[in-house]
Structure 1
Amino acid sequence: MTLDVSRRSLFALGAGLGASAVLGDVAHAKAPKLGPAPQHFYRFNVGDAEVTVVSDGLLDLGNPKGTFTGVSDDEMSKMLTDNFLDPADVVLQQNSPIVNTGDKLILFDTGMGTSTMFGDATGKQQKSMKEAGIKAEDIDAVVFSHGHIDHIGGVVGQDGKNLFPNAQFYIAESDFNYWTDYDKAGPKLKDFVDHAKKNLMPVRDRLVFYKDDQEFLPGVHALHAPGHTVGHTIFMISSGGKQFCYTADLTHHPILLMEKPLMEFSFDTDPKQAAQSRVKMLDMLATNKIPILAYHYAWPGVGHVAKNASGGFHYYPEGMQL
């Protein structure tokens, strides 16, 4: 005998017997919530090099008004809400690449470290490195894009001792001189200088000053992009005929400072110079279709830059390679 059970009769049966009788007890099964994913690293290849992105955590800037300037409050709110972002609370990431060239293990920037100036969701880099299977003592080179607190803050631990005992450290000389001098930085930035001195002076004898347009490590090319700080630098990383650019703080936000790159950012030493550097470098990256890794973009900060019709730029995040 053949039974012809229609969709309508099946639903009627389900209604009469109850979902559990038709589907079994699985409809009532409950599993515990697992909480957030424990790992904060992402790994991919560029040519023959292996790149691991590690997180120092979230950096909450709060309300963007007064921090990002150059457009009206209403226009800025619209730019954010049109992209499904909170117009009253800007939260940045901190994405540091660690490049394994086969000969050198190179970390770019070290996060906030022990400082809680921007809240207690920072200072996660050492934990992220451990999750990624990378030991701090195996780092051969630590490269600073500039001397701001959220980039040089993780050199020493709570005890003031160097966390990277076998590393050489690299920074622009102009930034080192500026951020270790209270007179140059001024009284408003005392905390920044305190933190720079705390982290940079213990490794002063291991500091090497790179220069603009210099390949100071194999496959690592410095490109001076001043304005955010006097010596702010981005880096072109090349391997096996492939390359990507670590853009550091060329732009802090994937919408603000990208769609309208002449907007200004209150933490810039020279906001107008920073805007000109931003336009110059973004134009170069877009024209040459060079992939980027942005320090403050949504995790893991990897993507591409393209020019938009209004004279600004658009960021296209790249799908994660799983």
Structure 2
Amino acid sequence: MTLDVSRRSLLALGAGLGTSAMMGDMALAKAPKVGTQAQYFYRFNVGDAEVTVVSDGQLVLGDPKGTFTGVPDDELRKMLSDNFLATNNIVLEQNSPIVNTGDKLVLFDTGMGSAQGFGPATGRQQKSLKEAGIKPEDVDAVVFSHGHIDHIGGVVDANDKVLFPNAQYYIAESDFDYWTNYDKAGPQLKAFVDQARKNLLPVRDRLVFYKDDQEILPGIHALSAPGHTVGHTIFVISSGGKSFAYTADLTHHPILLMEKPR
């Protein structure tokens, strides 16, 4: 049997039933607003190691002029607009890899922590860890790429409680000496030194100073990359014949510093 249903007959049916009858229970369904974003982590494997990248949130730098100085302003803004990015507000994503080698759980950098110098969207690392199912007390090692405020700021909380109580900490000695010394950093960087001292001095007795080309932990090699800071370091993590590099702030903007490294 076939039914010949015309558009006119459907309209007539709708007029006869009324709107609410045609909608049925759909008119009554009122789902609550969720009000949250997706969880802020990503997980993948490198050889036999499991890597979880957690976010510390977005770091807002504002106008690029004065921060990114290697190219003319008009070229800078064209690079941004060509990639559908705002030309008057640079936003960085702060991400930290956590490497589970099977024997050790290693976190690279700790984000801004409780410092609010770059806005309220930062300092999310602890929340991201929880979303990823990682407990801070399970972290065996915290490795700092350098001593800037947005990389060492999450060692302690607002009340100076150490957040990774069972970890050994690793940093280049040159960066530790520079960023914990007001005379070396200068008055313009006082906020950076304040945070370095707040976060690094409470774990001073657990700090290990790594050197260039050193295997600081099994499968984790430090490669000196000074320039961004005096002791800035990248790390190559190897497992099961595979490897990846954590470059930290060697390239911290996906367009500007990839297209124009200088």
> Is TM more than 0.5 here?
yes
State how far apart, in whole Å, the 2-side matches of 1:141 and 1:192 are: 23
Q: Supply the AA of the counterpart residue of 1:241.
A: G
Could you say what secondary structure the match of 2:75 adopts? helix
Check the 8 A contact 1:154/1:199 in 2, yes or no: yes
Q: Is the 8 Å Cα contact of residues 174 and 230 (structure 1) preserved in structure 2?
A: yes
Q: Distance in 2 between matches of 1:150 and 1:51?
A: 21
Give the structure 2 partner of residue 77 of structure 1. 77
| Map of 2:211 onto structure 1 | 211
SS of match in other structure, 2:250 = coil
Residue matched to 1:90: 90
Partner of 1:230: 230
Q: Quote how far apart the aligned CAs of 1:21 are.
A: 9.0
Aligned mates of 1:27, 1:62 — CA distance in 2: 45
Alignment of 1:104-183 (within 5 A): 104-183=104-183
* Letter aligned with residue 148 of structure 1: H
Identity %: 74
Partner of 2:185: 185
Q: Which structure 1 residue ranges, 4+ long, deviate > 4 Å from structure 2?
A: 12-16, 18-24, 26-30
Secondary structure, aligned partner of 2:188: helix
CA–CA separation in structure 2 for the residues paired with 1:160 and 1:194 = 13
CA distance in 2, matches of 1:190, 1:54: 28
CA shift for structure 1 position 36 = 2.4
| Cα distance in 1, alignment partners of residues 151 and 9 from structure 2 | 64
- Describe the shift of the 1:256–1:26 C-alpha distance in structure 2 as closer, same or farther (beyond 3 A): farther
Task: Measure, in 1, the Cα distance between the counterparts of 2:51 and 2:245.
Answer: 12
Is residue 58 of structure 2 the alignment partner of residue 66 of structure 1? no
Query: CA 1:24–1:169 in structure 2 vs 1: closer, same or farther (change >3 Å)?
Result: same
Q: Is the CA contact (8 Å cut-off) linking 1:14 and 1:22 kept in structure 2?
A: no
- Corresponding residue for residue 101 of structure 2: 101
Q: Deviations over 1:136-185 (max 9, x none)?
A: 11111000000000000011112212211111100011111111111111
State the AA in 1 paired with 2:117: M
Give how far 1:225 is off. Answer: 1.0
Larger radius of gyration: 2
C-alpha separation between the residues in 2 aligned to 1:34 and 1:150?
30
Which whole-Å CA distance do the structure 2 matches of 1:26 and 1:254 have between them?
Answer: 48
Alpha-carbon distance, 1:90 to partner: 1.2
Say yes or no: does 1:256 pair with 2:256: yes
State the one-letter code of the partner of 2:34: L
Q: 1:171 corresponds to which letter in structure 2? A: I
Q: Aligned-pair distance for 1:37?
A: 2.7
Whole-Å separation in 1 of the counterparts to 2:10 and 2:251: 57
Report deviation, 1:39: 2.2
Which residues of structure 1 form unaligned runs of 5+? 263-322
Structure 1 length as normaliser, TM-score? 0.75
* Distance in 2, Cα, partners of 1:240 & 1:23: 61
Q: Distance in 2 between matches of 1:221 and 1:149?
A: 23
Q: Is the 8 A contact 1:14 1:21 kept in 2?
A: no
Q: Give the TM-score taking structure 2 as reference length.
A: 0.91
Partner residue in 2 for 1:241:
241
CA, structure 1 residues 36+3, in 2 after alignment: closer, same or farther (shift >3 Å)?
Answer: same
Deviation of 1:84 (Å) = 1.0
Distance 1:88 1:3, change over 3 A: same
**Aligned-residue CA RMSD in angstroms?**
2.0
Q: What SS class does the counterpart of residue 52 from structure 2 fall into?
A: strand
> Does the 8 A contact of 1:20 with 1:27 survive in 2?
no
* TM-superposed deviation, 1:24: 4.7
Q: Deviations over 1:180-215 (max 9, x none)?
A: 111111110011011101111111111111111111
The superposition leaves residues 276-313 of structure 1 with CA deviations (integer Å, 9 ceiling, x where unpaired) of xxxxxxxxxxxxxxxxxxxxxxxxxxxxxxxxxxxxxx
Matched ranges for 1:286-305 at <5 A: none
Deviation at 1:70, TM superposition (A): 2.2
Distance (whole Å) between structure 1 residues aligned to residue 9 and residue 162 of structure 2: 70
Q: Secondary structure at the match of 1:245?
A: strand
Cα drift, residue 219 of structure 1: 0.8
**1:120: how far off?**
1.4
